[in-house]
Amino acid sequence: MKIKELLLNGNSFSMLLKQLSMNVEDINIKDEELILFGINMRNQETMKQNICIEGKNKDGDVNLIGTLHYNMLNQLAVFEMQGVEKVN
């Protein structure tokens, strides 16, 4: 399952996108395939990974920088945002 889908299963990520006026269709998790490969190779139940989520809102391109908390056993993911970066 894609990380974006797991994040959208919870309310907090959807609310974050709403606060930043971002549409789900306009976001992309940078290096998602590489992150998923690393998760599968570690054979750990839980993990933390720094990630960048690229997106767009009415003001232009935006990067959300933060930590992905992932529980492979329960297929749960939470994004802990540490910063927002406006891209020109």
- Measured from the Cβ of residue 55, the count of other Cβ atoms closer than 10 Å reads 21
Q: Mean pLDDT across the stretch 2-10?
A: 91
pLDDT digits (tens, 9 = 90+) for 18-44: 999 999 999 999 999 888 888 777 777
**Three-state SS for 25?**
helix
Overall residue count recorded for the chain in this entry: 88
Determine the Cα–Cα distance for residues 53 and 60; give it in Å rounded to an integer.
Answer: 14
Residue 1: its pLDDT value, please?
A: 66
pTM: 0.88
pLDDT digits (tens, 9 = 90+) for 46-81: 889 999 999 999 989 999 999 999 998 888 999 999
